[in-house]
Amino acid sequence: MLIHWLDEALTLRAQVAQLAKPSQRILTTYSDYLNGSAIENMPIPSRKLIFGSASKFLEDPQDLVALQKPSNQDYLSRSLRNHWLFTKHSPRKELDRSNVYNDTLVAQVVAAISMVLAAVLLIGAIVSLYFLSNPNAKLGLITVYTLLFALSVRLCTNAGRAEVFAATAAYAAVLVGSFRPLRDLAASAKFAQSVCER
């Protein structure tokens, strides 16, 4: 019976340990509300809601967990959530300073930005490499585009270090292999055209 209870306790502890930590925005909101600073500019006097040692429970974020984490945790999604312009506020509750936003719309905007960025980085790189003839300039351009791609993958996705490394290596391989066949194809077309003109 005791072993069964210990197994249950360890399983629950492991499940709690896998929960995500709350964001700084959530912690600041709760801290403002509990400390009374959320109603400083209101007609009623501001005062703390919790006193004593219990009022410090938000000071250590390692002790807190979020029961539901946002759908996307990448830097771009977090930034858009923190500075989203299309929010709603409830005018019926004077003390409620929370703003409501559509998380699906945020995810769609992030997806659109990511698609445009990926297309620009791939097509722009291939077109730029096609028109360059200097090998040193090509290597420099491949380096710049590869760094930009790695940065965009890190900022716009939830990819870890290993996934960023793998995606960047594949992208660099595409760039290195893409400009040579296009250049050879153009040279072959010009040669065929000159032969036909003779």
Q: Do 121 and 183 sit in the same domain of this protein?
A: yes
pLDDT for residue 42: 59
Residue 90 within a domain:
no
Same domain, 127 and 186: yes
Residue 95 lies in a domain: no
Same domain, 41 and 120: no
Domain carrying residue 2: 1-67
Report yes or no on 6 lying in a domain.
yes
Q: How confident is the model at residue 144 (pLDDT cuts 50, 70, 90)?
A: very high
Mean pLDDT score across all residues of the chain: 75
Residue type, 135: P
Total number of domains in the chain = 2
Please tell me the total number of residues recorded for the chain in this structure: 198
pLDDT band at 76 (very low <50, low <70, confident <90, very high): confident
- The rounded percent of the chain whose pLDDT value lies above 90 is 6
**Is 82 domain-assigned?**
no
Residues 114 and 62 in one domain: no
Q: What is the mean pLDDT of residues 16-37?
A: 74
In this structure, is residue 143 part of a structural domain? yes
Question: Domain check: are 113 and 190 in the same one?
Answer: yes
Whether residue 63 lies inside any domain: the answer is: yes
The answer to whether residue 93 sits within a structural domain is: no
> Residue 36: what pLDDT?
67
List the single range of 19-23, 77-81, 112-116, 128-132 with lowest mean pLDDT. Answer: 19-23
**Per-residue DSSP letters for the chain?**
-HHHHHHHHHHHHHHHHTSPPPPHHHHHHHHHHHHTGGGTTSSSPP--SS-GGGGGTTS-GGG---SS--S--SHHHHHHHHT-S--EE-TT-TT---EE--HHHHHHHHHHHHHHHHHHHHHHHHHHHHH---HHHHHHHHHHHHHHHHHHHHHHS---HHHHHHHHHHHHHHHHHHHHHHHHHHHHHHHHHHHHH-
| Domain shared by 187 and 111, yes or no | yes
